Amino acid sequence: MHPYQDPKLPVEARVEDLLARMTPEEKVGQMMQLPVHPQIMLATPEGCERGEVGSILAAVGEQVRPFAEAALRSRLGIPLLVGIDAIHGHSMWEHATMFPSQLALSQAWDEKLCEDVARATARQVAYTGIHWTFSPVLCLPRDLRWGRVNETFGEDNLIISRLGVAMIKGYQGEDLRDPESIAACAKHYVGYGESEGGRDASESPHSWRTLRSVYLPPFEAAAKAGCASFMSAYHSTDGVPVAFNRKLLVDELRTAWGFDGLLVTDWDILGHMHKLHRICATMVESAQRGLRAGNDMIMTTESFYADILAALAAGEADMADVDAACRNVLRLKFRLGLFENPRLPDIPKARTVAAEPAQRELALESARRSLVLLKNRNVLPLRAENLRKIAVIGPNADDWANTIGDWQLGSGQSQSTCDMYAAGNETVTVLEGLRTLLGEEIEVTHSVGCGVPDTLRKHTGLIGCFHAKDPFGNGINESAPEKIHRAVRLAEDADVAVLVLGDRISYVGEMKSTATLDLPGDQQALFDAVVETGTPVIVVLLTSKPLAIPEVARRADAILLAHSPGMEGGRAIAEALFGQFNPSGRLTLSWPHHVGQCPVRYDLSQGAHHVGYPDLPDAGYDALFPFGFGLSYSHVRYQGLRLAKTALAKGEALEFEVQVNNRGNRAMEETVQCYLDDCYTSVMWARKKLKLWQRVSLQPGEVRTVRFSLPYEAMALCDENAEWVVEPGEFQMLVGASSRDQDLLRARFRVE
């Protein structure tokens, strides 16, 4: 037995022993990650056996076995590292339980819930031959037109940091060697969520100070929490592609933060540098720059293997860079225990885990906690005894694909050979949720109401698979007026209309940024027609991101936001509408009145002429629905904000408390939010920044004193030198139910 095969030795000793035994070809092979997919089959078992492939992706279950077994037969028996996009559940496996999207989940403001969802996902993934998920997403979505907003935790980097670290802990567990743990991947490093025109993967205009103050903190938190891997992003910053930016990939990530994990490129980034960005005249140049910048594993760029070997032979690449990259790949494989247990697929066990009642219970609970009540004119909760008929209307009312959301077998990123519609068999839509809840007691009628054209089918192969059949119920044989007229007749005959609106899978995700934030298709016309009936209208929004819906906000009787609530979403929505629980979600993204009002986030810098927009007279400068906002079936009053001290010495924490009173007749959960206002600063800074929050349970009439402690370093700002400093002076602590000024109590203090 060689030393690297001895599990009793330290990981570093095993890595160095194995590295010393490897040929240049085997070292470069460990840097190669190739897809196993019927449309893009770059990996082969023969290549794995020759040691030319270190990792595969886009394979699930028994698809993994021939490649994994071939790698074990290689000269040194180095196991494969198998990765996949398990984004909100085991997204690409037909038997998986799908949870709410990251954006939906963030609205619970609950770290433990995120950790539990990630842990449940890891347990499903681990038995399908996969060891690594490309999750969580730690991007800030600065332009709401961006197609990947649904994959994020919202607009605030503190929430992203805390929820992201929670998901990393859930995926990785206490020990990566645990056969039910998988490696997490912090992506997309860094600044990917703000791009020109909201276009996916375009230039992002960040200064180093902006990166330091806004975009890097969640990734720093991930690195210091032990995240096993990072992914370098597609885009460029200040003209330099992130994947070629050694200052970001080495100086900041590895040297400043001490990250010793694996850094993988996103899909064919090195190919993009030559073919799309056109900053490398040849693929050889792209390979050389990617290696020098500090990338360890090259995703799906097949030519990298031959290019780097040729460059090494010609003295145009440094073997020390190859050794450093290979070392990081091997380290993760040893940390996962793959040399002792390569974790080949165990599908019976995987099916057993996926079928556990606790998986569906968690999906239901996370869907419940993610719902945000945006408006209620005393219509909700509905009372069964007062109803005889409900009309459930809208293109998303009985649409499982839009209930689950992006990154699933019905979306363009499908990475499996299985039936793409299989996941829908177990998904509870809003229509199904209401019919199951009400049984025979109340008649539930249904109409699609309008269609939403899947125009992207014409422009990208990603959705070409939708041609075979239309799972979305768009009613292509009816004209738009006919569909709306039929919906109106149902609404007129009902006691209440539940109008399920939103966006569509074909308008959501990677490479699918939108030009507007309007309701797509004829949904606005459908809403207008149904409202005119005089029947009370409850709008349920299944949407991947905030939409500009001022007329819906003004005229609807109630609005319940679900985003992408997962496979139990329809059941959770039905329960919420009938008051079986009290909605408690709070927004993590501000909603605009109009796309032209963006950005409308809560932490915009100060100094603009806050006079609103003359062509949006009712909008002013405020959001349609602000960050942190959310209603419930109770009413909360904040009072008695008190600071322990009003003058702090250097290094002292701010201790404070506030009283929260549930003045309603229902039990509830309230998210108490604490914002800091640094009154005068040496550089431009936000007027308020979220610093703390706490969820509290309140019985009817209960008054609870909630206590907080804000560390001294949390009062820092990023100065003109991009350094974090606490500046002496006046501060305000703002505490309340949302970021909106009228919802916040204020207390002033001074840092000496």
613-639: pLDDT as tens digits: 888 877 667 899 999 999 999 999 999
SS (H, E, C) 544-579: CCCCCCHHHHHHCCEEEECCCCCCCHHHHHHHHHCC
Global pTM value: 0.95
- Sort strands 729-736 and 744-751 into parallel, antiparallel or unpaired: antiparallel
Q: Which helix (H) or strand (E) holds 240?
A: strand 240-241
**Residue 727 CB partners (closer than 8 Å, separation 6+):** 678, 681, 682, 717, 719, 751
CB 70 within 8 A of CB 116: no
- Rounded to whole angstroms, the Cα distance separating 38 from 335 reads 31
- Rounded to whole angstroms, the Cα distance separating 636 from 602 reads 22
CB 132 within 8 A of CB 185: yes
End-to-end CA distance of the chain: 64
- Rounded to whole angstroms, the Cα distance separating 747 from 732 reads 6
**Residue 193, pLDDT score:** 85
Partner residues linked to 84 by β-bridges: 133
**Residue 411, pLDDT score:** 75
**Residue 157 CB partners (closer than 8 Å, separation 6+):** 140, 214, 215, 217, 218
Left, alpha or beta for 84 (phi > 0: left; psi -120 to 50: alpha)? Answer: beta
- Rounded to whole angstroms, the Cα distance separating 73 from 273 reads 35
3-state secondary structure of 286: helix
Ranges of beta strands (E only) in 108-157 are: 132-133
Token pair 């690449």 is at which residue? 317
**Residue 8 CB partners (closer than 8 Å, separation 6+):** none
Partner residues linked to 269 by β-bridges: none
- Rounded to whole angstroms, the Cα distance separating 706 from 690 reads 17
Which pair of tokens denotes residue 210?
């902006």
| Nearest in space to 55 (alpha carbons), one of 146, 115, 132 | 132
Digit-coded pLDDT (tens) for 456-494: 443 333 333 332 234 334 444 457 889 999 999 999 999
Percentage of the chain surpassing pLDDT 70? 94
- Rounded to whole angstroms, the Cα distance separating 695 from 164 reads 18
* CA 95 to each of CA 101, 400, 409, 415: distance values in angstroms, whole numbers, following the listed order: 18, 15, 11, 14
CA dihedral (715, 720, 721, 725) in degrees, to 10, reads -10
- Mean pLDDT, residues 546-556 taken together: 97
CB 735 within 8 A of CB 673: yes
Which pair of tokens denotes residue 176?
């990566």
CB 2 within 8 A of CB 11: no
Digit-coded pLDDT (tens) for 79-92: 999 999 999 999 99
CB 27 within 8 A of CB 323: yes
**Residue 639, pLDDT score:** 98
Angle subtended at Cα 222 by Cα 218 and Cα 224, rounded to the nearest 5 degrees? 115
Ranges of beta strands (E only) in 367-462 are: 372-376, 389-393, 443-447
Fill in the amino acid letter for 707.
R
- Rounded to whole angstroms, the Cα distance separating 600 from 626 reads 9
CB 368 within 8 A of CB 422: no
Digit-coded pLDDT (tens) for 699-752: 999 999 999 999 999 999 999 999 999 999 999 999 999 999 999 999 999 999
Q: Is 617 exposed, middle or buried (0-12, 13-18, 19+ CB in 10 A)?
A: exposed
Where is average pLDDT lowest: 233-242, 397-406, 451-460, 614-623? 451-460
Between residues 219 and 604, the one the model is more confident about: 219
Where is average pLDDT lowest: 360-374, 596-610, 661-675? 596-610
Between residues 467 and 556, the one the model is more confident about: 556
Ranges of beta strands (E only) in 610-688 are: 636-643, 647-648, 654-662, 668-678
Token pair 């961006």 is at which residue? 146
Fill in the amino acid letter for 545.
K
Fill in the amino acid letter for 661.
N
Which pair of tokens denotes residue 749?
């203090």
Partner residues linked to 392 by β-bridges: 446, 498
Partner residues linked to 540 by β-bridges: 500, 560
Is 218 a residue whose pLDDT tops 50? yes
> Other C-beta atoms within 10 Å of 388: how many?
11
**Residue 25, pLDDT score:** 98
- Rounded to whole angstroms, the Cα distance separating 406 from 544 reads 8
Ranges of beta strands (E only) in 180-320 are: 185-189, 229-232, 236-237, 240-241, 262-265, 298-299
- Sort strands 262-265 and 229-232 into parallel, antiparallel or unpaired: parallel
CA dihedral (549, 551, 552, 557) in degrees, to 10, reads 150
Structure letter (DSSP) for residue 464: G
> Other C-beta atoms within 10 Å of 319: how many?
13
Domains of the chain: 27-348 (3.20.20.300), 371-595 (3.40.50.1700), 636-751 (2.60.40.10)
The radius of gyration of the chain from alpha carbons, rounded to an integer in Å, stands at: 26
- Mean pLDDT, residues 222-236 taken together: 97
pLDDT band at 199; cut points 50, 70, 90? confident
318-325: list long-range contacts, CB under 8 Å, 24+ apart. Answer: 318/291, 318/292, 319/24, 321/291, 321/292, 322/24, 322/27, 322/28, 322/31, 322/291, 323/19, 323/27, 324/294, 324/296, 325/30, 325/31, 325/291, 325/294, 325/295, 325/296, 325/297
- Sort strands 717-718 and 724-725 into parallel, antiparallel or unpaired: antiparallel
Which pair of tokens denotes residue 662?
């549930």
> Other C-beta atoms within 10 Å of 157: how many?
23
Digit-coded pLDDT (tens) for 288-343: 999 999 999 999 999 999 999 999 999 999 999 999 999 999 999 999 999 999 99
- Mean pLDDT, residues 535-543 taken together: 98
Q: Which helix (H) or strand (E) holds 283?
A: helix 283-293
| Nearest in space to 81 (alpha carbons), one of 250, 264, 232 | 264
SS (H, E, C) 519-546: CCCCHHHHHHHHHCCCCCEEEEEECCCC
pLDDT band at 10; cut points 50, 70, 90? very high
> Other C-beta atoms within 10 Å of 516: how many?
12
Is 553 a residue whose pLDDT tops 60? yes
**Residue 414, pLDDT score:** 64
**Helices 216-224 & 157-172, crossing angle to 10 degrees?**
30
Which pair of tokens denotes residue 444?
């539930």
Digit-coded pLDDT (tens) for 636-675: 999 999 999 999 999 999 999 999 999 999 999 999 999 9
Which pair of tokens denotes residue 324?
């450093």
- Rounded to whole angstroms, the Cα distance separating 344 from 65 reads 6
CB 594 within 8 A of CB 434: no
Structure letter (DSSP) for residue 183: B
Residues in the chain: 752
**Residue 209 CB partners (closer than 8 Å, separation 6+):** 718, 720, 722
**Residue 451, pLDDT score:** 82
CB 65 within 8 A of CB 129: yes
Digit-coded pLDDT (tens) for 413-465: 666 545 444 545 689 999 999 999 999 989 999 999 998 876 544 333 333 33
Backbone dihedral angles phi then psi of residue 366, each to the nearest 5 degrees: -70, -35
Angle subtended at Cα 137 by Cα 413 and Cα 623, rounded to the nearest 5 degrees? 105
3-state secondary structure of 319: helix
**Residue 613, pLDDT score:** 83
Q: In what order do the strands lie in the sheet with 55-57?
A: 132-133, 81-84, 55-57, 32-35, 298-299
Percentage of the chain surpassing pLDDT 90? 85
